[in-house]
């Protein structure tokens, strides 16, 4: 009798624990509509936004659940962080020391993706959060990765691109472009036309240069094929100078390298192709880079945890800009890579 009572009690405890586990598992439920199988904790919003921007670039409507997932990730103030496991819990303050909380890159990409899918209210709220988080000085505005941190050109480029996409405050756009222009290295110097990433380092940064040109142009979202002229010389307007650096670097190497670290930076290469296309410059560099991206597409997308939908999103934007087949880009069906990964 005692044994039977103990067994019944243990069963009741186990049943209660199972019920509590099921009720306390909002992460699985909230991930309905998320593209990609890898753990989203570091890049959920970022990759979802790129996937949506890639699909819309080639005329494929993202799943309604994918758009809803992104809307639901938005913080109360309009910003976005990398990922909210439980959207019922308010976003923590941005922490530039720990690189946690809302960040400008997730917010900027989400704003563009939401605008592209007709979620204008959410996109406008995201744009306003970016404007509110600007660091202004001497008729310039700049943005760091985490709100409150040190401004950098790569983040500022993405933010300015987002503000242009949403049609937000023109003063903030003009001030952001002015700050970006101040980061350009003079044409007579080594790496002339490249951008420095921030005010603390004089070194050229390929990452900052590619994303900086996204902001100096109106490159995102991609809305059609580009018709670029040849590689320009480093002279004249800022867009021409920055384009000259990217075009000659891509013509020589076929890919941008992580500045200071080495290794191929395919994401920055894709961003450079899209930005150069919008600038209407750098045909030789674009062609060489597209050939590299086609050759390496399968390897770049593939990860140990599953296909990278963020990489596929960038490649879809490249395919549209360069008039390549999005369903057979380097032998990869980029559309299926994203749409077939939805949770």
The DSSP symbol for 90 reads P
Q: Can you give the pLDDT at residue 82?
A: 98
Average pLDDT over residues 169-183: 96
**CA angle centred on 338, ends 168 and 301, rounded to 5°:** 100
Q: Can you give the pLDDT at residue 201?
A: 85
Average pLDDT over residues 163-190: 96
Domains, in order of start, for the chain: 35-339 (1.50.10.20)
Supply the mean pLDDT for the chain. Answer: 92
pLDDT tens for each residue of 240-285? 999 999 999 999 999 999 998 899 999 999 999 999 999 999 999 9
Residue ranges in the chain assigned as alpha helix (H): 2-23, 26-30, 44-57, 64-72, 104-116, 120-132, 153-166, 170-181, 206-216, 238-253, 266-279, 283-301, 309-322, 334-339
pLDDT tens for each residue of 293-322? 999 999 999 999 999 999 999 999 999 999
Q: Is the pLDDT of residue 164 over 50?
A: yes
Q: Is the pLDDT of residue 87 over 80?
A: yes
Mutual orientation of helices 170-181 and 206-216 as an angle, nearest 10°? 140
């Amino acid at each position: 009798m005692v044994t039977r009572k103990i067994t019944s009690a243990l069963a009741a405890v186990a049943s209660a624990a199972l019920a509590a586990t099921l009720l306390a598992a909002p992460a699985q439920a909230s991930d309905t509509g998320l593209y990609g199988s890898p753990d989203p904790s570091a890049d959920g919003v970022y990759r979802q936004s790129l996937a949506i921007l890639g699909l819309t670039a080639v005329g494929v409507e993202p799943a309604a659940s994918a758009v809803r997932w992104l809307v639901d990730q938005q913080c109360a103030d309009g910003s976005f962080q990398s990922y909210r496991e439980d959207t019922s819990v308010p976003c923590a303050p941005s922490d530039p020391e720990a690189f946690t909380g809302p960040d400008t890159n997730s917010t900027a990409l989400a704003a563009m993706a939401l605008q592209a899918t007709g979620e204008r209210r959410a996109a406008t709220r995201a744009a306003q959060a970016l404007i509110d988080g600007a660091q202004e000085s001497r008729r310039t505005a700049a943005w760091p990765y985490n709100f409150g941190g040190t401004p950098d050109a790569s983040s500022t480029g993405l933010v300015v691109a987002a503000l242009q996409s949403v049609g937000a405050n023109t003063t903030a756009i003009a001030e952001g472009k002015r700050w970006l222009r101040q980061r350009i290295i003079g044409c007579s110097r080594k790496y002339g036309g490249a951008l420095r990433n921030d005010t603390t380092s004089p070194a050229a940064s390929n990452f900052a240069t590619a994303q900086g040109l996204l902001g100096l142009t109106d490159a995102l979202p991609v809305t059609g094929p580009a018709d670029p002229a040849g590689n320009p010389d480093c002279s004249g307007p800022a867009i021409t100078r920055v384009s000259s650096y990217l075009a000659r670097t891509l013509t020589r190497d076929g890919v941008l390298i992580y500045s200071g670290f080495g290794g191929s930076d395919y994401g920055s290469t894709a961003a450079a192709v899209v930005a150069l296309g919008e600038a209407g410059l750098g045909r030789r560099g674009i062609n060489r880079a597209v050939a590299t991206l086609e050759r390496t597409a399968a390897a770049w997308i593939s990860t140990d945890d599953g296909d990278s939908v963020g990489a596929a999103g960038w490649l879809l934007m490249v395919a549209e800009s360069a008039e390549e087949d999005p369903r057979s880009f380097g032998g990869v069906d980029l559309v299926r890579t994203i749409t077939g990964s939805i949770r």
